[in-house]
Structure 1
C-alpha cells in the first residue's frame, strides 16, 4: 500500500496513520525554544520521541543548541544526517561503543554521560587511539534512583578522574528530575523539582571549589521544563516530547502551555449496539503510561487495545460513529507510539503537506 501523498485530503487516507498537525507542532517548537531562551537556558531536545532527522533540523533551526539521544546508534544516525552537537544521555560500557563514540568526534560533538569510574580509562584509551578527545558530562542521581553517581565525594572522584585523562574533555554535569513529573499540586511539584536541581547546583559548586570548570549543567524533561527553566543553576534543558504534547504530559504532568499535535487516524471497522472497533491496537499506538483519547467527540470511551483492535464503548444514549467513519485519537505517550510507525504524515488544514520518515526507529544499541 502506497504512502500518503502531499496534497491528499485526510478523508482519503487509508488508516491507521500517524498524523502530525503542523500548525500545532510548529507552535510547540517555537514556544519551547522561546521559553528556554527567555529564561537564559539552551535547548537540547531529546530525539527519542521523534527519531527523525527532519524534526531534529527543525528544532535546530528554531534555536536548539543540539539534540539529546538515548542510544549511540541513534546518535550515529543523527550525525550522519548533519546534526552537529549531541548529548548521549545514556551510559555505554563496551569497547566497541567506546571506539564508535571516538570515531564520531571527527564529524560532530557527541558528549558522553558517565556515572562510573570504571569506564573512564577505556573510554579515554579509545579516544587516544582515534586521535580525538571525547567530551564528557557526569550524570548524578538527583533523586530518581535510576542511574547516576552519588553526589559528594564519589562525584568529585569521578570528575577528577575524567579531567585527568588526556583523551577526555570534562564538560560538566547532568541529572534528570524524572521522579517529580507527576507531583501535584504545583507548589509540591516546584518544591520537589528544586530540591532535585539544587543537588546539581551544589555539585557544581563542589567541583568548581576543587578547581574544575563547569560548562554544562543539563536537566529538564517535558514534564518539568516549565519549572526547571526557572532554576538558576541549570544551563540547558533536554525537554523534547513537548513538541508533540501527548495526553500523558497534559493529564499526569499538568503541562498546559503546549497543544496536542500528534494523533492516530483510525477507521471504524466493526460496530455493535454498544461498541465500535477501530483498526488501531497496541501495535499502532501505545497505552503505556497513558491511554489514548478520542479527539473531537464525547460519545466513546476506551475499553481496551488488543494487537490490531481498539475497542470503544458507546456512551449510553449516544448513536456512536458509523461503520467506516474515521476516528482521530490523541496519542497517550509519544515515546511509546512513534517508534511503531515508519513515518509521520504532517498535515495542515486537512491536507497532507509532508512525509517525514521515522528513520532512527529500531536503533537501540
Structure 2
C-alpha cells in the first residue's frame, strides 16, 4: 500500500508491524513519570525501536537522550538530531574509534569501556580530530558479559582513563540483566540493590579520589521499577517498556504497562478444525524468549483460546480452541510479539494505529546497523 495513512487497519497487507498509539503513549508517560518521580533521568535504549521518529517522541516525554549498542546506530540517531547518545558497548578497531571520534563533531556521545586499550585508542582518535569524547567505565555487576571486575580493578581503570587526553571520564555503568526474571519481588529488590551497590562503591571511591563520577547508568525494562529506587543511579536505560512485551510482563513482573505492539497476520490455511496457519513465521516474529501471543481478530474480537505453537520460516502454527475455530482463510489477526527486540529488527516500518486507522508510518532507520 503506497499511501496507507488514513486507511483502516483491516486494509493493511500482512505481515505488518503495528503500534497501538494510545497504549504506546500511555506506556511512555507511565515510564517517564515513574523514573522522574524517583528523581532519575531517562536514557531509553533504542534497540527495541530503531526509529529516530520514536526517539524524538521519547525526548518530548522527558528523555535526555538514547542508548544504543552500535556505532552505526549512533550515527543514525545523531544524523536525525539526537545529540546525546550512549553507546553501551565496547568499541574496538581503528575504523570504529575513528567513527566515534567523528561523531563528537556533531553531538556529545558517550562510550562504555572496560579496558584501558579501548579508552587509549579512542583518546588517540579524538586527539587527531581535536575533539573530546565522554566515557563511562562499565563494571561487571553480576551478568558476566562485559565489564571490568568491581573493586580495585575498576578504580585502577578509572584512574588510567582519567589521565588520558581526548576522552572525559564522566562516570560508571552496569547492567543487572541477570536479575530480570527473579520471581519473588523482595528477593529481586535485594539482589538488585546488592548489584547496584557495586556501582555505588565505585562511584564513591572515584569521587573521594577526585575522579568525575557524575553519571551512574543502569536499569533495563525488566528491572527499572526496582533500579529506579537505588540512590546511586542517576539514569535508567529501560526502553522496551513502551511496547510492554509479554516477556517483560509475564517473566519479569513489570507492572502498570500494557502491550502496544502487534503483528497483523493473515490466516492462510485451515488444515484441521483445531489448527490454523498464518503468514507470519520466523522472518516476521521471534519466539526465543517468549512465544508470540494471539490477541484478537483485526476487528477486535478476542481469541482467548488461540495460541501460537510453532514458527517456521514463513508460517506460524495456530492451535485453535472452540472460541477460535470459526477463523477462516483470509481472516486477519493481531499477534503480540513475545519479545519485541527480536521482532522489530525483521521489519522496515511501524504502522501507528489510532481509532482503527493508520495515523503514521515510522521507518526503522537503524535496522540492520550492525557495525
Return the offset for 1:316: 5.3
Q: In structure 1, how many angstroms separate the alpha carbons of the residues matched to 2:246 and 2:323?
A: 27
In the comparison of the two structures, how many residue pairs are matched? 364
1:231 equivalent in structure 2: 230
Tell whether the 8 Å contact from 2:303 to 2:323 is kept in structure 1 after alignment. Answer: no
Select between 311-320 and 282-291 the one with higher mean Cα deviation: 311-320
Return the offset for 1:299: 2.7
Work out whether 1:120 is the aligned partner of 2:119.
Answer: yes
Match of 2:351 among 340, 345, 349: 345
Tell whether the 8 Å contact from 1:342 to 1:357 is kept in structure 2 after alignment. Answer: yes
Q: In structure 2, how many angstroms separate the alpha carbons of the residues matched to 1:84 and 1:280?
A: 37
Q: In structure 1, how many angstroms separate the alpha carbons of the residues matched to 2:309 and 2:7?
A: 32
Select between 51-60 and 299-308 the one with higher mean Cα deviation: 299-308
Deviations 1:102-148 (A, max 9, x none): 11011101101000112222211101001011110000000000000
Tell whether the 8 Å contact from 2:218 to 2:227 is kept in structure 1 after alignment. Answer: yes
Tell whether the 8 Å contact from 1:4 to 1:13 is kept in structure 2 after alignment. Answer: no
Return the offset for 1:94: 0.6
Deviations 1:39-98 (A, max 9, x none): 110000000110000000000111101100110000011101100100000001111111
- Mark the runs of 5 or more structure 1 residues left unpaired by the alignment: none
Q: In structure 1, how many angstroms separate the alpha carbons of the residues matched to 2:182 and 2:88?
A: 23
Tell whether the 8 Å contact from 2:304 to 2:323 is kept in structure 1 after alignment. Answer: no
Q: In structure 2, how many angstroms separate the alpha carbons of the residues matched to 1:318 and 1:335?
A: 28
Work out whether 1:275 is the aligned partner of 2:275.
Answer: yes
Tell whether the 8 Å contact from 1:139 to 1:173 is kept in structure 2 after alignment. Answer: yes
- Mark the runs of 5 or more structure 2 residues left unpaired by the alignment: 296-301
What's the TM-score, normalizing by structure 1?
0.98
1:303 equivalent in structure 2: 309
1:14 equivalent in structure 2: 13
Q: How does 1:98-177 map to 2 (within 5 A)?
A: 98-177=97-176
Q: In structure 2, how many angstroms separate the alpha carbons of the residues matched to 1:140 and 1:53?
A: 29
Tell whether the 8 Å contact from 1:299 to 1:320 is kept in structure 2 after alignment. Answer: no
Return the offset for 1:3: 4.3
Match of 2:89, SS state, is coil
Q: In structure 1, how many angstroms separate the alpha carbons of the residues matched to 2:237 and 2:277?
A: 38
Deviations 1:242-295 (A, max 9, x none): 111111001110112111000001111000222000110010011111101011
Return the offset for 1:232: 0.5
Work out whether 1:327 is the aligned partner of 2:333.
Answer: yes
Moved over 2 A (4+): 316-320
The alpha-carbon distance between structure 1 residues 273 and 199, as it changes in their structure 2 partners (threshold 3 A), is same
Cα RMSD after superposing both structures:
1.1
Match of 2:109, SS state, is strand
Q: In structure 2, how many angstroms separate the alpha carbons of the residues matched to 1:347 and 1:198?
A: 42
Match of 2:137, SS state, is strand
The alpha-carbon distance between structure 1 residues 326 and 127, as it changes in their structure 2 partners (threshold 3 A), is same
Q: In structure 1, how many angstroms separate the alpha carbons of the residues matched to 2:55 and 2:91?
A: 23
Q: In structure 2, how many angstroms separate the alpha carbons of the residues matched to 1:311 and 1:197?
A: 42
Match of 2:159, SS state, is helix
Q: How does 1:184-333 map to 2 (within 5 A)?
A: 184-271=183-270, 272-295=272-295, 296-315=302-321, 319-333=325-339
Return the offset for 1:319: 2.8
Tell whether the 8 Å contact from 1:4 to 1:345 is kept in structure 2 after alignment. Answer: no
What's the TM-score, normalizing by structure 2?
0.96
